[in-house]
Structure 1
Amino acid sequence: MNVCVRTVSRIWNLAKEQLDLGQEVNVSSKKKVNVGRKRKELDLARTATIPLNRRRTIRSLARCLGVPRSTLHDRFQLKELKRITNTVKPFLKPANKIARLKFCISMMDEHSISTPYPSFKSMNNMVHIDEKWYDTTRVKNTYYVLPGEPKPERTVLNTNSIGKVMFLTAVAKPRYNDEGQLTFDGKIGT
């Protein structure tokens, strides 16, 4: 039972004493259930009324609710609050949806469309190309420097027009030979 011998002996002796006195045997734990400092009353339902831009950090939400940040952090640890990430998604007009659907249909194998299990083309002759833009520097950076070391000096003509770099990458489907060895990894170039 993963307890020491003294604990079992103490419980056994307690049960024998109660039997000798003619009492009902009760060896349940005598630990109090609700011990320690009680939690502060906090109406978390008010969180839904606070605008989303005021709920981005625990600090700003605590300020809006009028409670200490540590109290709100404790409630987050107790899973009474939840942190989520939200990304902006493109708005698709009906014409965009139709164009996407037409592209998906064009990738279907014409010979398998009339069968019960249609399949897609093998895409062995397809090359995918995409580009990604990066800023050459960020407006605000954090650095760790030694005491006495000069601060790095970073300058641009205008913080609203920081230089950009574009990567253009082309990839295709990897190819394997009959023994299962990779003959082409699919990376054409960047």
Structure 2
Amino acid sequence: MGDRTCIRDLAKMFHIGETTFWRMIKRGNVRPHTNPLHPGLQDPNMVQRVKWVINLLEGDNPQTKRQYQPMFDFVHIDEKWFYLSKKAQRMYLGRDERGKYKSGKSSKFIPKVMFTAAIARPRFNSQNECTFDGKLMIFPFTYQEAAKRNSKNSDKGTMVTKVVEPVRKKETSDMLINHIVPTMMRKWPPSEGPKTISIQQDNARTHITQSDIIWQQVHQQGDFTFILVQQLRNSPDLNILDLNV
């Protein structure tokens, strides 16, 4: 397959012209294909994936387990770093227009900020109207601090937004307990009776689990019960935030 990445190499392999080979692509005789790199699944991973799927079936026995849970009470969360700038950015200018001068302290160590996204399955009523879009919020790892001295950007005492770095277990736990959970309780669609919500996250070392002592003190609030669920190893396709659609 490594010899099939270029039209020129393929044309030479089949002893035909490059233009002829291009016409074959236009006719559909040859089609382009992108071969992605998938996680390497071992036998224990495959067994865990089967158990994961079976546990999502509704029912008490094999005869009644014929339908999957609607997963309306699942919330997927994930983090991602975003750089505040790029080393180079392509743009289009007019004939006599000049590009703006961009500078930074370092071209290798560009400031970055982490965001956490929380999303659930949207809900619709009988008229096919969206009553809950599932978009809970995107939470930045930032904090406010008063400026210690005067500068060209702000005066002394002005509240300045700063980036939380590094992000460790203490910061992710604080974000989950003090920001994500209260937002879920505020935005969750109303329903009768207690609500049990599963929060699915990946296996990053900075994430807390359901057995965490601090989490055990706050995972039940009012009618809400929150359960932390760790997605399976080597299985990013089980978290919708890891899927590139």
Higher relative contact order (CA 8 A, sep 6+): 2
Q: Matches of residues 98-113 of structure 1 in structure 2 within 5 Å?
A: 98-111=47-60, 113=61
- Flag the structure with larger Rg: 1
Flag structure 2 segments of 5+ consecutive residues without an equivalent.
139-245
Secondary structure of the corresponding residue to residue 128 of structure 1: strand
Pair 1:179–1:59, CA change in 2 (3 A): closer
What's the offset of the Cα at 1:64? 6.9
**Higher helix residue share:** 1
**Higher strand residue share:** 2
Alignment length (residue pairs): 137
The answer (yes or no) to whether the contact 2:58–2:64 under 8 Å persists in 1 is: no
How many percent of aligned residue pairs carry the same amino acid? 28
> Deviation string for 1:92-136 (max 9, x for gaps)?
11121122222222222243x343552233433321223445555
Q: What residue is the counterpart of 1:94 in the other structure?
A: 43
What's the offset of the Cα at 1:169? 1.9
* TM-score of the superposed pair, with normalisation by structure 1: 0.51
Flag structure 1 segments of 5+ consecutive residues without an equivalent.
1-50
Secondary structure of the corresponding residue to residue 86 of structure 1: coil
Are 2:68 and 1:149 equivalent residues in the alignment? no
What root-mean-square deviation, in Å, do the aligned CA atoms of Structure 1 and Structure 2 show? 3.7
Q: What residue is the counterpart of 2:152 in the other structure?
A: none
Q: Matches of residues 165-184 of structure 1 in structure 2 within 5 Å?
A: 166-176=114-124, 181-184=129-132
* Aligned residue among 65, 74, 77 for 2:26: 77
Secondary structure of the corresponding residue to residue 96 of structure 1: helix
The answer (yes or no) to whether the contact 2:58–2:65 under 8 Å persists in 1 is: no
Pair 1:63–1:144, CA change in 2 (3 A): farther
* TM-score of the superposed pair, with normalisation by structure 2: 0.42
2:117 & 2:16 partners in 1: Cα distance? 50
Pair 1:135–1:96, CA change in 2 (3 A): farther
2:24 & 2:55 partners in 1: Cα distance? 52
